[in-house]
Amino acid sequence: MGFQGYSDAELKSLPRVTTETGWDSVANPGGERVQGTVLVNTYLAQFKRGWRYTFIYELRDDEGGAGNQGLYGKWLPAPPSFLYRTSAPKLSATYIHNVTSILADNTPVSHPGRLNYSISNQPSTVHDLLLQKSSGIFELVVWGEQVSGTNNITVNLDSAHASVKTYDVTVGTAPTQTLTNVSDVPLAVSDHAVIIEIN
């Protein structure tokens, strides 16, 4: 149309925004669980790549379309033999809530610290993102995009740490494991995020 457009160099510095992404919890394989893991993985991957905003379509099923992309709108059984849609949270809403609750911190970190770590046996389907809270605690998010099976990896820390906790975002907001005086954290990573909290 005659517009000059951006150069390749300019394109690299433009803010990135995803205006609409989602996963249908009925039409796509895996149901609510896969919808939840895909959406959490999407948020993490885009944040790591520097995207400013990621908008999920949609908040509740049947609002704007006939699909089941909502974070809310669970189908529940009702007597005698039919289903009805509620505004109850689906697993995607629960998983996103778990991630944001574990990582929550209202105070910006003006001078982030450093944590030297490496991941042994890291396949291309396993990703990581290091964050730090204002308290100084590190949160290392490790997530997988393996369709089936697991990858056994080891997170190697720079030295022994007095307290290391792991969280599985598909389980809840409480630690699933607490380790003391460890420098290595073995993980079985499949299709969802695990958070390693290093004190």
The domain spans of the chain are 15-103, 117-198
Mean pLDDT across the chain: 93
| pLDDT band for position 69 (cuts 50, 70, 90) | very high
* Nearest Cα residue to 169 out of 36, 2, 32: 36
Question: What pLDDT is recorded for position 4?
Answer: 87
**Average pLDDT of the residues in 29-49:** 96
CATH topology of domain 117-198: Immunoglobulin-like (2.60.40)
pLDDT in tens, 108-140: 998 999 999 999 989 999 999 999 999 999 999
Question: What pLDDT is recorded for position 12?
Answer: 85
Question: What pLDDT is recorded for position 76?
Answer: 75
Residue 13 reports pLDDT greater than 80: yes
E-strand stretches of 7-145: 17-21, 53-56, 75-78, 82-85, 117-120, 126-132, 138-144
Residue 60 reports pLDDT greater than 80: yes
Question: What pLDDT is recorded for position 79?
Answer: 73
Identify whether the C-beta of residue 55 lies closer than 8 Å to the C-beta of residue 99. Answer: no
Residue 75 reports pLDDT greater than 80: no
Residue 92 reports pLDDT greater than 90: yes
Please give the share of the chain, as a percent, with pLDDT higher than 70.
97
Dihedral sign for Cα atoms in the order 188, 191, 192, 193: positive
Question: What pLDDT is recorded for position 90?
Answer: 95
Question: What pLDDT is recorded for position 53?
Answer: 94
* SS3 state at 48: helix
* Nearest Cα residue to 168 out of 37, 51, 71, 46: 37
Question: What pLDDT is recorded for position 1?
Answer: 75
Q: 88 or 178: which carries more pLDDT confidence? A: 178
